Structure 1
Amino acid sequence: MALDDLSLTFAALADPTRRAILARLASGESTVAELSEPFDISGPAVCKHLKVLEKAGLIVQGRKAQWRPRRIETGRLAAVDAWLGFYRPLWEARFDRMEDHLKQLQEGKANA
């Protein structure tokens, strides 16, 4: 069963370790050893997370001499942003209605 790109992206982003790896890569390239440092998991486990991120198109592996640093790819994140953008007016309208409702409640308490 083939998954669409958006489903692969969301599946990859579902894991907090992978999101933390992406956050680290947002500041620049890193090797597997550097990416492994903050986590209390094995190197092979980190490599599995990296493979999921690579399959989803969120990161790519570079090559610098004997090193294979990873770097973030923003294209798939832009696709997620575009997908969420479709729903943004909906939740903004709901927040606006909630804000109006809270103001009415506060005014009611002030008048009571």
Structure 2
Amino acid sequence: MGRLTIGPAIMLLSFLTQEWRLLRDGRRKRRSSWAWHGLGVACVLFWIVVLCEMPLWLYFLSFAYLGAALSRLRSYAEHRYADHHEERTAIVENSYLFGLLFLHNNLHVLHHRRYYLSG
């Protein structure tokens, strides 16, 4: 339950802390990326708050935070404990609920195969 409730907050805070350090160290490409991201966020928030008249807190909780929680759930389901790295990727098969979350594919396995074969 913690992965779904406080996991997104921890993930977001650690990501923003890491990005802040990179920005502070003068990474120009990061600044450009964040500027473009900020422009995109402003457009989405204008659409959500002004045109759709949805409160910002509702958008944050029901879309942004819930989406991050689902990504934490997906990450949990796609990994398992194993002694060898190449055995740590799990495949979710034949599940209506999780099949939708995983978009009925197992590209995560291919991602790990490529990583371990190249490294």
**Same fold (TM > 0.5):** no
Bin for the TM-score computed over the shorter chain = under 0.3
Higher relative contact order (CA 8 A, sep 6+): 1
Q: Greater helix percent: which structure?
A: 2
TM-score normalized by the length of structure 1: 0.24
TM-score normalized by the length of structure 2: 0.22
Larger Rg: 1 or 2? 1
Q: Greater strand percent: which structure?
A: 1
